[in-house]
């Protein structure tokens, strides 16, 4: 599988990576190990997780995902793998995580120590802020509302605490997730001004129905040498076409309806129908086309795959060598113009 440089770091990661948020809820520990074995056998060297996982988030299962990875990781050659995890941000009601998490020194120290213990490793290659400490519109919200601004940990303070984790050897590189153009630019500027570690990645949703990264973040990330880790490339399964066939089919949307509200938008079914049609007329599975599209964008460092079965994961991994024709790309652009970002 193709390896790509991760931002301005020395890390080289597979163009497809394994997301793990189903481990501990939809997938057992044995399932998790089987997925990890398959992914690595197919050339994946990058594994992404978070202290919050699995989803949907619950106090009873929080941390299980990292623990399942840890019981597998201890039997692997650690330096062959790039392992990423995330610290949870505030104000999403997850009071069971350190009595409501913040991105300050106290919480960063507690979070990384908990993650390392569960992962059974001495360090993580990439440590990410799962979502900002400050208010930003996210997870389906699209408009900034200044009345929602709240007390926040200054970015310089966050960076200084992260720098100490790097200095201690617990973290090799740092990144962001669910960030805005201003946030990425501010983290980069503060790091340069203070001589602190620079972010190398931003992990944001990116798929055929949410290409908002292309408008502002693409420019910022290009000039700052920050790579995109594209999550939800199949839009919670919508872009596989399975919900067109059976709206009640088993999946995250039907199992956890409150967790996928960003896809409850009026143009989503119309856009999905068109993308599925394009794929099938081109002799591709809809999932393969969607993954190939995300993988081949110039700003994408790695596409994060998520699957609940080995068959799903195998199909997703099979997309690694697929290149879309100019005709298919033109048809995709035509649909995008008709239904621009229906699920931001």
How would you classify residue 100: left for phi > 0, otherwise alpha for psi between -120 and 50, otherwise beta?
left
Does residue 265 sit within a domain? no
- pLDDT tens for residues 104-122? 999 999 999 999 999 999 9
What's the structural domain count of the chain? 1
- pLDDT tens for residues 184-243? 999 999 999 999 999 999 999 999 999 999 999 999 999 999 999 999 999 999 999 988
pLDDT of residue 138: 84
Does residue 250 sit within a domain? no
Q: Are 256 and 55 in contact (CB under 8 A)?
A: yes
Active site residue 339: no
Q: Residue 22: is its pLDDT beyond 80?
A: yes
Does residue 339 sit within a domain? no
Does residue 282 sit within a domain? no
Annotated catalytic residue, options 53, 127, 206, 243? 53
CATH number, residue 109: 3.20.20.100
Does residue 333 sit within a domain? no
CA gap 172, 197 in Å, rounded:
10
CA gap 283, 273 in Å, rounded:
16
Does residue 280 sit within a domain? no
Does residue 286 sit within a domain? no
Task: Supply the range of the domain harboring residue 304.
Answer: 3-237+293-321
Does residue 107 sit within a domain? yes
Q: Residue 309: is its pLDDT beyond 80?
A: yes
CA gap 282, 297 in Å, rounded:
19
């Amino acid at each position: 599988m193709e390896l790509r440089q991760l931002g301005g770091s020395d890390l080289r990661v597979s163009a497809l990576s394994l997301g793990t948020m189903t481990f501990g809820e939809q997938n057992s520990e044995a399932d998790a190990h089987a997925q990890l074995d398959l992914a690595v056998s197919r050339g994946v060297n990058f594994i992404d997780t978070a202290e919050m996982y699995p989803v949907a988030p619950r106090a009873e299962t929080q941390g299980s995902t990292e623990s399942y990875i840890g019981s597998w990781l201890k039997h692997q050659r650690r330096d062959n793998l790039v392992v990423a995890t995330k610290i949870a941000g505030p104000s999403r009601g997850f009071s069971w995580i350190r009595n409501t998490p913040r991105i300050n020194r106290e919480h960063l120290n507690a979070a990384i120590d908990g993650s390392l213990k569960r992962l059974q490793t001495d360090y993580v290659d990439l440590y990410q802020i799962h979502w900002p400490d400050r208010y930003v519109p996210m997870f389906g919200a699209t408009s900034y509302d200044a009345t929602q601004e709240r007390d926040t940990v200054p970015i310089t303070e966050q960076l200084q605490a992260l720098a100490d984790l790097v200095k201690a050897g617990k973290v090799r590189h740092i990144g962001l997730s669910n960030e805005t153009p201003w946030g990425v630019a501010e983290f980069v500027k503060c790091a340069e001004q203070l001589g602190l570690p620079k972010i190398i990645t931003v992990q944001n949703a990116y798929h055929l129905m949410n290409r908002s990264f292309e408008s502002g973040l693409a420019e910022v990330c290009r000039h700052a040498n920050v790579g995109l880790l594209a999550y939800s490339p199949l839009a919670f399964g919508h872009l596989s076409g399975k919900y067109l066939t059976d709206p009640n089919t088993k999946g995250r949307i039907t199992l956890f309806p409150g967790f996928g509200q960003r896809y409850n938008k009026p143009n989503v079914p119309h856009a999905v129908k068109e993308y599925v049609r394009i794929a099938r007329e081109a002799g591709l599975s809809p999932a393969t086309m969607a993954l190939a599209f995300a993988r081949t964008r110039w700003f994408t460092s790695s596409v994060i795959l998520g699957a609940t079965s080995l068959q799903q994961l195998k199909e997703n991994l099979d997309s690694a060598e697929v290149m879309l024709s100019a005709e298919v790309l033109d048809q995709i652009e035509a649909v995008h113009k008709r239904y621009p970002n229906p699920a931001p």
